[in-house]
Structure 1
Amino acid sequence: MSTPKRRETTSRGPMVATPWRSVLEKERDLSFKYAWDPSRIPAIVSAGIQPRAPMEARLRSAYTLRRALECATIAQRIEAMQSPMVGGAIHYFLDHVADEINPASCARLQEHALMTLVHCLGNDQRVDDALILDDATIRRIYGCLESQFVVVVSAASQLVRRISEIDHVCPVLAFDESIFHSILRLLETVPDSRVRTHILSTLINMAAHPKLQFMMARSARLLQWLVENVFQFCSMLSAESNDHPMPLSRNGGDGGSPWRGHSFASRGLSSQPSATHSAVSEDGASDAAETAVKCVRVLANLLSYSPNRNEIQRLVPSILDAMLNCQHPRAPHDLSEASKCVVHLFHENPSDLQFELTSELSRRPQPQ
């Protein structure tokens, strides 16, 4: 089956995250580059799935398979993944790590298996369905998202992001609410900026999907986190420009949002104006800006479905205040434009919307 087409960019419609790109494309200091040879796949896989194979043999097999498929053409990947042996080996590497004594090696084995899936998705619908659309795979993904090892969580978040980019398998992320709750937990607690980028990009894509937006638009936990991060970034901008601090959001009558002060704490940013703001590194400020932009894009996609608007405004009454704060003179252009999109969605007729956005926009095909 043909490769799913990338959504075309238009002047109106939902926003999408930048497509996943392999970290290995940027890292060429690897020990070797395996020359692709389809005839070697059975031997590679067989060496790693023997019942008494040592961990070293499993790691070598998983890593070589990963690198081989990364360097392969699309046609070669499809041919390889149509073999039940390859899919079975990937699942074997994920399922048997708990039985091993060396946890660090087990984490590496999981990482290689997850990244192999990332490389092979999106080329053929039959392969995608066989690899992803089953309860066992969902349990494996959930287990990896909950791992104590950063390399496993990072690889699992990349896999979830890749799944969210493919329309025919994206709904699998809603099959079990445990995946969604795990994504939110990572968003709130994991300080790693790469993981956060993958998770926010996943949420942007999920929010634009007709089968996933309803669940997301009714999650007060998610909506409050998104709006609170926007308020905190705007407060930081205000403090840096020696203005009065922007007011932080208040969640109805409960005395404030439970997420205040959480999302940027690990990056040295504070929701209150202080000398800390002037000490924030350029990398930290850039990362905070990127996070705020992605938060607004998630909200814009959810609001593009008109039934969600009243519910979102009920759950986070301060959303429009947050969007107006994004018009700060020091706010990034992408943030200002995306926030304008949100305001228009609240006040304009959806059939007449015309957005002048300069960043990642596309129209998702409507179901027949």
Structure 2
Amino acid sequence: MADIKTASVLAFERKLDPSDALFFSGFWSDRRETINWKPLTVREKAIRGTISNRMKTKDTDPAKLDAAIENPNLQRVDVATLPNDADTLKVNFTLRIIGGAGEPSSCNDAAYRNRLSQIVKSYAAETGFAELSMRYAVNIANGRFLWRNRLGAESIEVIVRHKDGDNYREWLFDAFSFTLQSFTIPEQSKSNLSALSHAIEAGLSGDKYTLLDVTAFVRIGKGQEVYPSQELILDRGSSGKGQKSKTLYSIADQAAMHSQKIGNAIRTIDDWYQDEDAIGPIAVEPYGSVTSMGKAFRQPKQKKDFYTLLDSWVTRDKAPESDGDRHFVMATLVRGGVFGESGKE
């Protein structure tokens, strides 16, 4: 095989394209109705908190602590709660699955593109996208995309609708019948999950996209707090005084969740990494990054990161030894990103 170098311009479009998720409120008994659900709004709350941060060693004098506590910790925050006449949160988004997985949107090296195309076609022929599609389907069915809203809920039902030609198909799942720690499929959900997985696989490997409409109903109790995405405010001015300490994401005053957060949950399928601190599936990222832990589970020194695996596969014709690592490389291409090799060191 002729020498192939990593392309300096190499980019992939994401193939799982979720919309933002909108929040609604209503009653669990009305989850089959469409007209009884009201948009859930974000409101502001002003609170008087206490000083509870860790004190410096020099400030442990009781008199200094008493003086600090005399100053209230005043805060303005956004909150989102169910109204007192509703016990269920409804979360709705759409997911578009686009074909051409593994095909770069930009590549300035023809030899590299041709070799990569051969690898993707070989993977599709030998393995296909069935394993990835099944895992994406499980993360939709188990309601992982609800994040904190999943915790403490009494019941969660997920409904997925798919328009297939002139026909509409609908699949219903009990999210709590699944576990978040593995991709074990409960017996009662195998048929529906298989159909959903095939729809996703058809989108990834076909020429036409697949569009899914996903709705989750979360029964948590009247008036309970729910959790949209929190906005990252980069510029708070010189002092920041008087500004809100927490701003929630909303669309036209309706509580919502970022599409990026939905996508992160759906691609939380990487349990192929090997680490003594394994925490179950993590989101597919080139270095296996988990920001909440401040750790990268796929270190270049271990030769398990995406770049090492991809370069070895394409430029040296050395495929990853394990099926899991091959799935990981393809899942990262489905995730999309800019992966070219810079000429700078």
TM-score, with structure 2 as normaliser: 0.27
Which one has a larger percent helix, Structure 1 or Structure 2?
A: 1
Name which one, 1 or 2, has greater alpha-carbon Rg.
2
TM-score, with structure 1 as normaliser: 0.26
- Higher relative contact order by CA 8 Å / sep ≥ 6: 1 or 2? 2
